[in-house]
Structure 1
Amino acid sequence: MAEPANLETAGPLLAGATGEPAAPQAGTEGTSKEAPPADAAKPSGAAEQNPDAAAKPQGEAKPDSAAAPAAGGGTPAATAESAEKGSLNNPHSDVKSVAEEGYKKYMAAGCNGCHGGGGGGGMGPPLTNQVWVYGKDDDTLFRLIALGSDGLQKQGHSRKGSENVVGPMPAQGTIVKSDDDLWKIIAWIRTINPSSAGGSSAAAPAPDAPTPQ
């Protein structure tokens, strides 16, 4: 008579034969998930040496960089303060070509309040006569408008003529928005005042130069 099979040893064999899943072996649980690549969790390069570098966004702008002013300040006042005396010249040699635009800038800046809508004067001196209180060259006119008469005198300029005025010329170097706008205003003044012909700095004689006989 055959001996009965040992149930303890036959158990695993019967489980495989009936299609039931075998019990997992020790140490094999959770091995079905793929382990992340070895380099994924490891910071590389500068980030490994400096942990703060990884948290800082690349290309981050410095706080003050966007608000930094342009060189020279970008205003006629700044130009008049920094430019060497006698170095300022109107880039618009054909004054008539920009006169209309210069007149618009003149009105927009409120120059008509003192000098009149057509430059004929009022509280301030007329721009149409032959009297040029400090001179008619480009450099002087630019500085006079930008810095005012008090600021011009501080730079060493002195009166060459006189007019009946209410007060000193106020500085307009931050009211007129750009150097080019101011040059166009000066160009317009030259078109309404024939006595300003030859008033560019290039054509004006040096202060101590003898007058040709």
Structure 2
Amino acid sequence: MRNIITGVLAVALVGGMSVFSLNAIAADEPEGASESAAVAGDAPSADGECCPKDDQTPPLELIEKTPIGGLHNPYNDDTAAMEEVGHKKYLSFSCNGCHGGGGGGGMCPPLTNDAFVYGADDDTLFRLIALGSDELQKQGYTRVRKEVVTGPMPPFGNIIKTSDDLWKVIAWMRVKNPSSVEDVDKPAQTPGQ
């Protein structure tokens, strides 16, 4: 019985590898190229700038690859175009449970006022949402503004699967809080630098 199971597993493994090889050849890419591109994403670029639209890199992986201050929302040039899709993603990740359906607050800070607790720049917001406030503080960030907060911001870096999805949520936040746009590239703090 063990030999039969081993044989079936071997055939399945070899068959699976052949299908992967044929798909790579059909796509005119070297074997493994599409898999590594899908996993690694396009960020950051050789010059250290980040981030392209449609980046499929998981948020936590992008944070690991990008130095503090290097995360920039590719949708800043047209946040209004992201309003509907960003709001849908915001709701799908249950951000509304704490920040309200329209971002007006609840048991946690409203996204519609200027009291971004750690700073309103792209890099800090991306890290805050992905890592959560406890991990952000462990990395040296401190509160720069005061706001009524019931509890810590939980980490969403494993819930939000792609950096692109997170950037779209942040773009929606910019629509709800247009005054925050002036701070996208002005880090309130740069721990460790």
TM beyond 0.5: yes
What one-letter code is carried by the residue in structure 1 that aligns with 2:87?
Y
| Runs of 5+ consecutive residues of structure 2 not aligned to the other structure | 1-12, 19-31, 42-55
Q: Runs in 1 of length 4+ with deviation above 2 angstroms?
A: 57-62, 67-74, 205-208
Q: Does residue 1:152 correspond to 2:136, yes or no? A: yes
Report what 2:161 is aligned to: 177
Check conservation: 1:80, 1:147, Cα contact below 8 A. Answer: no
- Structure 2 partner of 1:200: 184
| Contact 2:141-2:189 at 8 Å conserved across structures | no
Matches within 5 A, 1:73-92: 74-92=57-75
Helix, strand or coil at the partner of 2:182: coil
2:40 is paired with a residue whose SS is: coil
State the Cα deviation string for residues 87-116 of structure 1 (Å, max 9, x = none): 000011211111110000000000000000
TM-score, with normalisation over the residues of structure 2?
A: 0.68
Is residue 80 of structure 2 the alignment partner of residue 111 of structure 1?
A: no
Structure 1: segments with no counterpart, 5+ residues = 1-56, 209-213
1:35-74 per-residue CA deviation (whole Å, 9 max, x = no partner) reads: xxxxxxxxxxxxxxxxxxxxxx989739xx8x98923793
- Paired with 2:151 and 2:65, the residues of 1 have a C-alpha distance of 26
Match of 2:104 in 1: 120
Of the two, which has the highest radius of gyration? Answer: 1
Distance verdict in 2 for CA 1:59–1:187, change over 3 Å: same
Q: State how far apart, in whole Å, the 1-side matches of 2:68 and 2:179 are.
A: 23
Distance 1:58 1:175 in 2: 33
Normalised TM-score (structure 1): 0.62
- Note if contact 2:57-2:162 (Cα within 8 Å) is conserved in structure 1: yes
Amino acid aligned to 1:186: I
| Counterpart among 130, 137, 140 of residue 124 in structure 2 | 140
Considering only aligned residues, what root-mean-square deviation do their CA atoms show, in Å? Answer: 2.9
Question: Contact 2:144–2:188 at 8 Å: present in 1 too?
Answer: no
Q: 1:185: Cα distance to partner?
A: 0.5
1:71 correspondence with 2:40? yes
Shift of 1:142: 0.3
| One-letter amino acid matched to 1:95 | T
Identity of aligned residues (%): 54
Bigger helix share: 2
Which of 13, 17, 25 is matched with 1:61 structurally?
17
Structure 2 CA distance, aligned partners of 1:184 and 1:131? 21
